[in-house]
Amino acid sequence: MSADDLGLPELGDPGDPGNRPARLAVGVVGTGRVGPALGAALQLAGHRVVAASGVSAASRRRAENLLPGVRLVTPPQVMAASDLVLLTVPDDVLPELVAGLAATGAVRPGQLLAHTSGAHGVAVLEPATRVGALPLALHPAMTFTGTSVDVARLSSCPFGVTSPEELRPVAEALVVEMGGEPEWVPEEMRPLYHTALAHGSNHLVTLVAQAMEILTDAGVAEPGRMLGPLLGAALDNALRSGDAALTGPVARGDAGTVRKHVQQLRRTSPQLLDSYRAMARATADRALANGMLKAEAAEALLDVLAEGEHG
């Protein structure tokens, strides 16, 4: 099914500057960190953001900075003015918002409704789909700052895309127009997809912050500067080689060194000991599974990690 069949304007070739008319009137419901950046990217592609809604003073400032001149109105007013509506609200707010918009008659048949939640597919838009909306799930796999730098970072940013099959070309074209790279995620796999991204990105921040805290305790004046090259190389190696990039005392089976780590953390940073143990056990399991670590060495490591755990 083509855009014509759905009653939509053709999106054209986003790479051709001469083929960028104001094809869709775009609205943004939720002007947190994500919505204004995506709206600005769509404007650069030739669409026209006509309305946005935001509640807090910070969200309204973001809209004014990234979408200057765009009217700030209520969500139903955004819906009324727009061919394409971006629902960029927190995951837990999305179901109630969609149900409310559909129940109050704010949704028009043929209106494109796209949310940016990683955890949800298009099923969450079902109340709006029932009254004729065209549902899209477009999740940018990136962290946002709420500033103009986010628009530039959308270049080559992967998007997790889910939609009905007949809308897949439209969903993927919108992502390309924003500068992103669409990656198809089946509806039933959205929770697993989001689990992977949250586990990797959110827990990485926690891990790095903990390492910086330990270096500060060790007297290092600029822990971020010390960790930057090491962690950058480790991330690059892990993305290229997976478990083959494992290194360090756990992967080598150096139980004595790990014992010293545990002792030091117990003395200076006991609040971080559980995290260290959990990550060391997970690392040992992976090193054992891929043959880097012998069973005897793994057993010795696990014994060290268990020392004093319940005492």
Q: How many domains does the chain have?
A: 2
The angle at the Cα of 70, spanning 67 to 74, to the nearest 5 degrees, equals 115
The tens-digit pLDDT sequence of the chain (311 residues) is: 444 555 554 554 444 444 443 489 999 999 999 999 999 999 999 999 999 998 888 888 999 999 999 999 999 999 999 999 999 999 999 999 999 999 999 999 999 999 999 999 999 999 999 999 999 999 999 999 999 999 999 999 999 999 999 999 999 999 999 999 999 999 999 999 999 999 999 999 999 999 999 999 999 999 999 999 999 999 999 999 999 999 999 999 999 999 999 999 999 999 999 999 999 999 999 999 999 999 999 999 999 999 988 75
User: Within this chain, do residues 118 and 242 fall inside the same structural domain, yes or no?
Assistant: no
pLDDT at 59: 87
User: Within this chain, do residues 131 and 229 fall inside the same structural domain, yes or no?
Assistant: no
In a domain, 311, yes or no: no
pLDDT at 15: 45
User: Within this chain, do residues 174 and 212 fall inside the same structural domain, yes or no?
Assistant: no
User: Within this chain, do residues 156 and 135 fall inside the same structural domain, yes or no?
Assistant: yes
In a domain, 4, yes or no: no
In a domain, 254, yes or no: yes
Which neighbouring-strand residues pair with 135? 113
Of 185, 214, 248, the last residue of a domain is 185
Of 170, 185, 200, the last residue of a domain is 185
In a domain, 57, yes or no: yes
Please tell me the distance from the alpha carbon of residue 277 to that of residue 274, in angstroms, as a whole number.
Answer: 5
User: Within this chain, do residues 229 and 84 fall inside the same structural domain, yes or no?
Assistant: no
CA distances from 287 to 112, 235, 251, 302, 306 (A): 47, 17, 6, 13, 18
Please tell me the distance from the alpha carbon of residue 147 to that of residue 260, in angstroms, as a whole number.
Answer: 44
**Of residues 4, 20, 18, the one with CA closest to residue 178:** 20
User: Within this chain, do residues 144 and 197 fall inside the same structural domain, yes or no?
Assistant: no
User: Within this chain, do residues 244 and 126 fall inside the same structural domain, yes or no?
Assistant: no
In a domain, 128, yes or no: yes
Q: Which amino acid is at 62?
A: R
pLDDT at 11: 57
User: Within this chain, do residues 70 and 168 fall inside the same structural domain, yes or no?
Assistant: yes
Residue 88 sits in a domain whose CATH number is 3.40.50.720
User: Within this chain, do residues 294 and 244 fall inside the same structural domain, yes or no?
Assistant: yes
Contact 235, 307 (CB under 8 A): no
pLDDT at 60: 87
Of 150, 185, 220, the last residue of a domain is 185
User: Within this chain, do residues 170 and 203 fall inside the same structural domain, yes or no?
Assistant: no
Q: Which residues constitute the domain of residue 74?
A: 17-185
CA distances from 220 to 152, 213, 214, 216, 223 (A): 34, 10, 9, 5, 6
* Long-range Cβ pairs for the range 300-307 (8 Å, 24+): 300/253, 300/255, 301/250, 301/253, 301/255, 301/258, 303/255, 304/255, 304/258, 304/259, 304/262, 305/258, 305/262, 305/277, 305/280, 305/281, 307/259, 307/262
Could you tell me the pTM of the whole model? 0.86
CA 143, distance to chain mean position in Å, is 6
User: Within this chain, do residues 135 and 158 fall inside the same structural domain, yes or no?
Assistant: yes
Q: Could you say which DSSP state residue 155 is in?
A: T
Which neighbouring-strand residues pair with 184? 161
pLDDT at 2: 45
Please tell me the distance from the alpha carbon of residue 190 to that of residue 196, in angstroms, as a whole number.
Answer: 10
| Residues constituting the chain | 311
User: Within this chain, do residues 219 and 158 fall inside the same structural domain, yes or no?
Assistant: no
In a domain, 137, yes or no: yes
Residue 231 sits in a domain whose CATH number is 1.10.1040
List for the chain the helix, strand, coil content (%; round to 5): 55, 10, 35
In a domain, 5, yes or no: no
In a domain, 8, yes or no: no
Unique residue bearing structure tokens 């008659």: 105
